[in-house]
Amino acid sequence: MQRWVLAFIAVVALVGGTAGPAVAVTGAVTETGAIDGAAFLIEIPPNWNGTLVLYSHGYVTPGQPNPPRDVGDQLTGLYLKTQGYALAGSSYSTTGWAIKEALHDQIALLNYFDAKYGTPDRTIAWGHSLGGMITAALVEQNPDRIDAALPMCGVVAGGVGVWNSGLDGGFVFKTLIAPNSNLQLVHITDPGANLQLAQILLAQAQATPQGRARIALSAAVTNLPGWYSAATPEPAPNDYVTREFNQFQWNQQVDFPFAFALRAELEARAHGNPSWNTGVHYRALLAKSVNRNEVTALYAAAGLDLEEDLRTLDAAPRIATDLEALRYLSKWVIFSGDIHDAVLTMHTTGDGLVLNQQEEAYGDVVRAAGHNTLLRQTYVHRAVHCASTPAETIAAFNVLARKIMTHQWSGNSPEELNAAALALGPALNVAQPAYFQYRPAESPRPFDRRDARRQGLN
């Protein structure tokens, strides 16, 4: 996530009169510690308004530092504390795909907070990326502990669909670009060497028109966006050369490490491969892809026969799942849509790690469960994963806080959110507010609790 390092100026709260805290807290509190091996951070301002905001952080690569975090960026945290909100967050007891651990550790932290500082009047859960998935899971699984939730750039399509879609992109890449290579798509034995090989093959492919066309096809089956940098405008829909280069950068810098290395961490947890492409028709995935015109144009420019490559994909041997591994990933975690508290999601549309189509999958399962009135989904027109500004984040948070207080949704149109963000002043608006009306395409490989029931996984 981008780090916003700017001076903070005083701002005016958008949410007025709140109830007092559950218990009196004298002076500001900053507490660190550990519960069941998970470090935590709690911050309570002297003017605590009785609301606790529980933050879930995103994916931490194994071996990297994993300090506790109670907010996504310090400017947003300072704003919330100024307005009287208490903050808390756990590091989780492990890194990687730590969904099981996170759900335990976040509730353990709430229990600790209740015992030491008193039960909050309200608890709002929020989080970025994998933390957005954890947030959405917390509100489904613990409705008695969570009053509202703000999953941001979250993996809200659930783990099975996300890793299946990643397998699809890797499968097309290997089958068409390096069919005779030792590149491993599943059951990865040496993650570092496997990623290095994938990066070499990717660079070689990018050097030729034929390779670029096939990279575009592998991107299309996952709906990978053709926009990479928040510092540049989104390329025109027919600027296929630039869009493919941006997809190459997403693969090189962000997505290939997950597909060809970090998948091994998940497989170790799950004791096998939880993904599959048996029964998948790549012609059909391309037909509904937002990038299908790009693929057609680049194949024609390269003098390649797209139909021949699609037939090659049709004929290629498929990869089956390991059932127990699938059970693990279905438990940790997919969604039922059974929410009983307000949920507001936000997503940048040019996110090439957690694609915006995940929001379509989440909205679909919530609607199917009959809880559509509790869900609102917002979109920011910007590239980069989790690149919402502090002002955009605070504007969304205040919509959710108003919903708790008034029991009504208000101020959540793109125009109202942008105006609210601008009103926070220049220090929090590190970029022009960019909420806009948007409807994501269909998620390529959705998998939720309904699918699990159909496959007898429950």
Tens digits of residue pLDDT in 28-68: 999 999 999 999 999 999 999 999 999 999 999 999 999 99
What pLDDT is stored for residue 17 in this prediction?
33
- Domains delineated in the chain: 29-156+334-454 (3.40.50.1820), 159-328 (no CATH)
- pTM of this prediction? 0.94
Helices (H), 178-288: 191-206, 209-220, 240-250, 256-257, 263-270, 282-287
Q: How far, in Å, CA of 373 to CA of 377, rounded?
A: 11
Residue whose pair of structure tokens reads 């630039």 in the numeric block: 242
Q: Which amino acid is at 162?
A: V
Sheet containing 375-383: order of strands: 29-35, 38-44, 86-90, 51-56, 122-128, 148-152, 342-350, 375-383
Q: State how far the alpha carbon of 279 is from the alpha carbons of 189, 272, 283, 350, 445, in Å.
A: 26, 20, 12, 29, 12
* Dist CA 109 CA 65 (whole Å): 20
Type of residue found at 327: R
d(C-alpha 88, C-alpha 138), whole Å: 15
Task: Say which DSSP state 427 is in.
Answer: T
Q: How many CB atoms lie within 10 A of CB 70?
A: 22
Residue 310 structure tokens = 């699609």
Answer whether residue 5 shows pLDDT above 90: no
End-to-end CA distance of the chain: 35
* Residue keyed to tokens 């994501």: 440
Mind listing the pLDDT tens digit for each residue in 316-356? Answer: 999 999 999 999 999 999 999 999 999 999 999 999 999 99
The SS3 of residue 321 is coil
Closest CA to 32 of 90, 98, 115, 94: 90
Model confidence at 6, pLDDT cuts 50, 70, 90, reads very low
Average pLDDT over residues 140-144: 97
